[in-house]
Amino acid sequence: MPIVKYPRATEPLWHEWDRKAQKCGLRHTAYAVNGDQYTGEWLDNLKHGKGTQVWKRTGAIYSGDWKFGKRDGYGSYSVPDPVTKEYKKVYTGWWKNDKKCGYGATFYPDGERYEGEWSSGLRSGWGQMYYQDGSIYEGQWLEDQPSGQGMLRLPNENRYEGGWKDGKKHGPGKFFYLDKGQLFEGIWAADTPKCGILIDFGRDEAPAPTQYPIPKV
């Protein structure tokens, strides 16, 4: 019985080239088509582990943890100053699925900063916001706005303690007018006091007390 021999199929060269191109473990700098560059660890051709990414268009740098091609874990994100070209940190903290998530600090261009919890790239949870005018808010956040219970301290030391909703005073709260030595306690709605009582509070120590004390009812 005759034996038919078939020629062994040869594997295309691109298969071998593709295997060699698959990145896994620590590699030297890899350049993307758009000019972005990444130096660090890989797994199955995805950024995974410790690494640094530089975006060519903006010049921004992320250095930290990666998981399956996305920023995940702890890392810092910096951008160059448009005038001095020196790098300034924008965010340092935890990431998940390429977004800020967990505890972290953000530094804004106008000098403001936020330190606290994040969720899906938005301020959510407990945190402190330091504003440009010297005001400080400390309390609960939801979807990038003060919501829940919190305290806002103004530059003149006056402060509000109470409920917030969508970034505005809302619900039961107290406003301490320490400059005048008075306290307002009542109900707020969309930053406006709706009802409450006003009493003297620390009037003797106030720097600019009212001319006459509030009579007791």
Q: Mean pLDDT across the chain, nearest whole number?
A: 90
pLDDT of 141 reads 98
The 10 Å Cβ neighbour count of residue 17 is 9
What is the model's pTM?
0.82
What percent of the chain has pLDDT above 90?
70
Mean predicted confidence (pLDDT) in 46-74? 96
pLDDT of 40 reads 94
pLDDT of 21 reads 59
Q: How confident is the model at residue 82 (pLDDT cuts 50, 70, 90)?
A: confident
| Per-residue burial over 59-84, b = 16 or more CB atoms within 10 Å of its CB, e = otherwise | ebbbebbbbeebbbeebbbbbeeeee
For residues 166 and 145, is the Cβ–Cβ distance under 8 A? yes
Mean predicted confidence (pLDDT) in 64-72? 96
For residues 183 and 208, is the Cβ–Cβ distance under 8 A? no
Mean predicted confidence (pLDDT) in 170-175? 97
Residues 29-58: tens digit of each pLDDT: 888 889 999 999 999 889 999 999 999 999
For residues 188 and 169, is the Cβ–Cβ distance under 8 A? yes
Pick one of 2.20.110, 3.30.750, 1.10.3470, 3.30.1490 as the CATH number of 14-105: 2.20.110
DSSP 8-state secondary structure symbol assigned to residue 28: E
Residues 148-162: tens digit of each pLDDT: 999 999 999 999 999
pLDDT of 2 reads 64
| CA quadruple 75, 133, 201, 186: dihedral sign | negative
13-22, 86-95, 125-134: range with lowest mean pLDDT: 13-22
Helix, strand, or coil here: 167? coil
pLDDT of 203 reads 82
Task: State yes or no: pLDDT of 20 exceeds 90.
Answer: no
Residue-range domain boundaries for the chain? 14-105
Task: State yes or no: pLDDT of 14 exceeds 60.
Answer: no
Residues 203-216: tens digit of each pLDDT: 878 778 887 787 77
pLDDT of 15 reads 58
pLDDT of 68 reads 94
